Amino acid sequence: MALIHGEVDGLSFDYPADWTLTPVGHLKHYETVLAFLTSPQASAIESCGPDYEPGLGAGCEDTYSLPAGSAVVRLSRWGEPQLRNGPITSPLPAGWQPLTIAGQPAAYTGDYSDFSTPSSGQTVAWLIAAPGSEPWVFYAVVATINGPQTSTMTQIEAMLATLRIAPTVAP
């Protein structure tokens, strides 16, 4: 499988050449959606209306097109002291597993849902501590897969295996 190297906001990684990396960069409240990574036939956009003001958390909506056999990966950065009161892997809510990604403490769940995830497909998520800033800043990799998951999950996990994180930039 041919790969392309991508970089967005301190994250660098390799991903399948037939996937598309679309930078976003909208600062909501605590979350900044950095980019969408989409498999062939899938697409994702984040549109912000006239009431959008960076950092105030209003006015943006994610829209996914997820035909059968496709996937959308949302890459985001979260930052705010009140979001977590301890290391990213402790305590973990039910259904989350601790692991290490890019040399950083991380957590994974195979059953994820939030305000941006579509109702079709299965959504999984990884939270990864940003270097030197845990627990205050972390990255989220949220993948929604519609259809056969084995090969798609393998491609997403291969991307995560190449992930490198530059020193934290304040959110």
Q: Is residue 171 part of a domain?
A: no
Domain boundaries, position 128:
3-165
Q: Is residue 170 part of a domain?
A: no
Instruction: State yes or no: pLDDT of 122 exceeds 70.
Output: yes
Residue spans of alpha helices (H) in the chain: 150-161
Q: Is the dihedral angle over the CA atoms 92, 98, 104, 110 positive or is it negative?
A: negative
> Binning pLDDT at 50, 70 and 90, where does residue 98 land?
very high
CATH code: domain of residue 15: 3.40.1000
Please state, in angstroms and rounded to a whole number, the distance separating the CA atoms of residues 139 and 150: 24
Please state, in angstroms and rounded to a whole number, the distance separating the CA atoms of residues 11 and 8: 5
Mean pLDDT value of segment 142-153: 85
What backbone phi and psi angles, to 5 degrees, belong to 62?
-90, 135
Q: Work out how many domains the chain is built from and give that number.
A: 1
> Is residue 10 a contact partner of residue 104, using CB atoms and an 8 Å limit?
no
Please state, in angstroms and rounded to a whole number, the distance separating the CA atoms of residues 122 and 36: 17
SS3 67: coil
What is the predicted pLDDT for the residue at 35? 95
| pTM of the predicted structure, to 2 decimals | 0.88
